[in-house]
Amino acid sequence: MLAKRIIPCLDIKDGQTVKGVNFVNIRNVGDPVELGAEYSRQGADELVFLDITASHEGRKTFVDLVRRIAQNISIPFTVGGGIHELKDVDTLLSAGADKVSINSAAIKNPDLISEVAKNFGSQVCTVAIDAKLEDGEWTCFLNGGRIPTDKKLFSWAKEAQERGAGEILFTSMNHDGVKQGFANDALARLSESLSIPVIASGGAGTMEHFRDVFAEGKADAALAASIFHFHEIAIPDLKQYLKQQGVPVRLTC
């Protein structure tokens, strides 16, 4: 069985790492270069950088910041936010990203998924989906959770896979920052319906939540932010716990 991945996430606003609850009440949590370097040292499997206001503000990702982070880590690096065309992907890969995460742009222009996969390989293309459970249905949102769309989680994830996405990063807006556990039912349904990896995001609060997202949610990877940023859980400790629970993980520390 492939090792399950633990992925810290740097949500970036105005060049600083921030964190909110349910996509609002944003607060500053530190320097992204320092945080990225520390997570790399701790044995994180990957690092995700999301410029959370780039799409909303209609601008490109902070490329210089991406480059500085990439120079200070030795783990795979995914960058998202403000990616609208192939040139943006090329720029970020040249700056040190290993993968790109597209969200709003993919919903607005689904052909972008195919173009990225065709030109750079499916392994480079992560499709991020921010969705909220409303009236029994998971609705996808644009621009960092600000604008609802007519896209539904499961059908959109399936389409993204068919268009060439290499993995799906699903964030439950209902669970984001609440620390009550991941959306395991939805994650299990996603994982069972797709043949590409699913990254779980939104809801991590305890080590048990990570165990459950792998056992019950059938996720391939789990992403978290505040519990790592605020030193509530250390990545080496989390991986030792998961190993003891029978979850296959990569130990480096």
Kind of pairing between the strands at 24-30 and 77-80: unpaired
Tokens, residue 169: 């990063």
* CB distance 94 to 63 below 8 Å: no
* 3-state secondary structure at position 192: helix
Identify the residue whose tokens are 């556990």: 181
Q: Please identify which of the residues 45, 51, 88, 130 carries the catalytic annotation.
A: 130
* 3-state secondary structure at position 154: helix
Q: Is residue 130 flagged as an active site residue?
A: yes
Q: Is residue 11 flagged as an active site residue?
A: yes
CA pair distance 169, 97, nearest whole angstrom: 16
* 3-state secondary structure at position 172: strand
Residues identified as active-site: 11, 130
